[in-house]
């Protein structure tokens, strides 16, 4: 499954809350690891849902992302291997990270902290997924500056497109100011309800606008996906036969196919 020597970084971003950013980060990471890639998840949301969803006790960590931002630890000290999943690693977070946006406010190149932090790791991982908080603040700007591309989890509901245009403006801003090669890798439709007319309507509009950027694979609403975080397990460890597990595995395959197509196109 190898397609490139040094790691590619993806920001999982959408400033709208509860749209499936963390669920997609954790379970796409798990799928990619099972497909043979060495994957690192960066939990850049002070809520710490990706950390706890991957089995980290966020109250009992010696080092975490906040320490890396404040130079109290380097990333290597904070990164942990995820139990029971070979190939999958996490740089966990802590609620302290909530203060970092204010602490960094007057720092020089404050948008580049995460990018600088990740630079020495790029040769050690094939894929790095950054779980962003539900805002367009400094943590998300850092993720967009550090990333090669963005993956947008999108729930098909009222106002989904409005939120998306705000996100696209921010992406343009970061692209113009800090990261000229940034692009949207893909849009994942999450919590997809085939029986709901609104879902179809919003999906159609998103596809009209973003065309092939929308992944063919959609993630249905699946109760097993909402249960697995409380067990600290990705879906493939919790219930590998569930529709949630199969959907994220299909997304992983489609994701890799797209990367391969692009790397052949650039060859």
Q: Which residue ranges make up the site for ligand ATP (CB under 6 A)?
A: 17-23, 45, 47, 49, 134, 190-191, 219, 221-222, 225-226, 229, 244
Handedness of CA 189, 38, 26, 66 (dihedral sign): negative
Q: Minimal distance in Å, beta carbon 9 to Mg ion?
A: 18
With contacts defined by CB under 5 A, how many residues of the chain interact with Mg ion? 3
Nearer to ligand ATP, 74 or 193 (CB): 193
Please answer whether residues 127 and 8 qualify as being in contact, where contact means their C-beta atoms are separated by less than 8 angstroms: yes
Nearer to Mg ion, 12 or 259 (CB): 12
Nearer to ligand ATP, 126 or 185 (CB): 185
Q: Minimal distance in Å, beta carbon 205 to ligand ATP?
A: 20
Sheet of 149-155: strand order equals 80-81, 88-91, 39-43, 127-131, 8-12, 149-155, 183-190
Residue 98: CB atoms within 10 A of its CB come to 15
- Selection from Mg ion, ligand ATP, none that 182 binds (CB < 5 to 8 A by kind) is none
Token pair of 69 as six digits? 């931002």
Token pair of 220 as six digits? 């249905």
**CA–CA separation, 34 and 28 (whole Å):** 10
Q: Minimal distance in Å, beta carbon 60 to ligand ATP?
A: 22
**Considering only CA atoms, which of 65, 43, 8 is closest in space to residue 182?**
8
**CA–CA separation, 172 and 36 (whole Å):** 33
**CA–CA separation, 123 and 101 (whole Å):** 28
- Selection from Mg ion, ligand ATP, none that 137 binds (CB < 5 to 8 A by kind) is none
Please answer whether residues 206 and 19 qualify as being in contact, where contact means their C-beta atoms are separated by less than 8 angstroms: no
- Selection from Mg ion, ligand ATP, none that 15 binds (CB < 5 to 8 A by kind) is none
Residues 18-57 close enough to bind Mg ion by CB under 5 A? 21-22, 49
Site map (CB under 5 A) of Mg ion, residues 72-101, x = contact: ------------------------------
Q: Minimal distance in Å, beta carbon 188 to Mg ion?
A: 14
**Residues of this chain that bind Mg ion (CB under 5 A):** 21-22, 49
């Amino acid at each position: 499954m190898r397609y490139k020597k040094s790691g590619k970084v993806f920001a999982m971003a959408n400033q709208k809350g509860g749209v499936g950013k963390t669920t997609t980060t954790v379970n796409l990471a798990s799928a990619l690891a099972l497909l043979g890639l060495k994957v690192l998840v960066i939990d850049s949301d002070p809520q710490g849902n990706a950390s706890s969803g991957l089995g980290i006790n966020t109250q009992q960590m010696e080092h975490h992302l906040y320490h890396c931002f404040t130079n109290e630890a380097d990333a290597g000290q904070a990164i942990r291997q995820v139990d029971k999943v070979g190939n999958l690693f996490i740089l966990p977070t802590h609620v302290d990270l909530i203060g970092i946006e204010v602490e960094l406010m007057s720092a020089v190149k404050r948008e580049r902290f995460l990018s600088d932090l990740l630079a020495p790791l790029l040769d050690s991982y094939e894929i790095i997924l950054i779980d962003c908080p539900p805002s367009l603040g400094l943590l998300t700007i850092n993720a967009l500056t550090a990333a090669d591309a963005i993956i947008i989890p999108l729930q098909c509901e009222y106002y989904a497109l409005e939120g998306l245009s705000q996100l696209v403006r921010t992406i343009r801003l970061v692209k113009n100011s800090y990261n000229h090669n940034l692009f949207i890798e893909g849009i994942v439709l999450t919590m997809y309800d085939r029986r709901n007319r609104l879902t179809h309507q919003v999906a159609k509009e998103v596809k009209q606008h973003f065309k092939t950027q929308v992944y063919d694979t959609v993630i249905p609403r699946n109760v097993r996906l909402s249960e697995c975080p409380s067990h600290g397990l990705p879906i493939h460890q919790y219930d590998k036969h569930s529709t949630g597990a199969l959907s994220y595995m299909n997304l992983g395959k489609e994701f890799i196919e797209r990367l391969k197509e692009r790397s052949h196109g650039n060859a």
